[in-house]
């Protein structure tokens, strides 16, 4: 049996440690070892975006990273979005715009959108569509998702993301 290694990460501001084999994916480490099951696993080969988390400030597919690669990293997951029982503004917009149905893709969509919006000073609707194409949804047809993310971008950037 492969020897397990200790992996320490900061997740949503809290230090966590656990054991991982060298081949353990970060997604599985978060879900199975740290019991943070909000991060979903769909395709397990980097296509669907369901497993997206923020690692050291950048969106990353946690099915394409080994847990040992994340040792020492700061990670943000869906569990850290709501504060004191209040939904994050983007979560509220997803609800208002009916940007989810079964919800399987939603954690990855939200983390993808957070990275997209906060890594730009402004976004056109087309740029929102291109940025959000990193994550796949089998239910919604994307209109609600694009509208929610475009409105969030307007709130964050303080300008119109609906044109261009």
Least distance to ligand FES, CB of residue 44, Å: 5
Least distance to ligand FES, CB of residue 104, Å: 5
**Residue 78 to residues 1, 41, 114, 164: CA-CA distances in angstroms?**
33, 13, 10, 30
Least distance to ligand FES, CB of residue 159, Å: 28
Q: In b/e form, how buried is each residue of 33-67, taking b as 16+ CB within 10 angstroms?
A: bbebebbbbbeeeeebbbbbbbbeeebbbbbebbb
The beta strand positions in 12-57, using DSSP E, are 14-20, 52-55
Least distance to ligand FES, CB of residue 31, Å: 11
Nearer to ligand FES, 47 or 124 (CB): 47
Q: Is 26 in the site for ligand FES (CB under 6 A)?
A: no
State which of positions 31-90 bind ligand FES (CB under 6 A): 41-44, 46-51, 61, 63
> Footprint of ligand FES on this chain (CB under 6 A)?
41-44, 46-51, 61, 63, 100-105, 137-140
């Amino acid at each position: 049996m492969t020897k397990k290694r200790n992996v320490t990460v900061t997740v949503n501001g809290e230090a966590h440690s656990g054991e991982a084999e060298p081949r353990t994916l970060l997604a599985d480490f978060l879900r199975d070892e740290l019991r943070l099951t909000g991060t979903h696993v769909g395709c397990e080969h980097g296509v669907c975006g369901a497993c997206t988390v923020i690692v050291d400030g950048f969106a990353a597919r946690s099915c394409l990273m080994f847990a040992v690669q994340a040792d020492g990293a700061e990670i943000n997951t869906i569990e850290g979005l709501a504060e004191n029982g209040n939904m994050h503004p983007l979560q509220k917009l997803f609800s208002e715009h009916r940007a989810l149905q079964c919800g399987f893709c939603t954690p990855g969509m939200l983390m993808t959108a957070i990275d997209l919006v906060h890594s730009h000073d402004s976004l056109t609707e087309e740029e929102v569509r291109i940025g959000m194409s990193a994550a796949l949804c089998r239910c919604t047809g994307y209109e609600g998702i694009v509208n929610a993310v475009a409105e969030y971008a307007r709130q964050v950037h303080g300008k119109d993301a609906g044109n261009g």
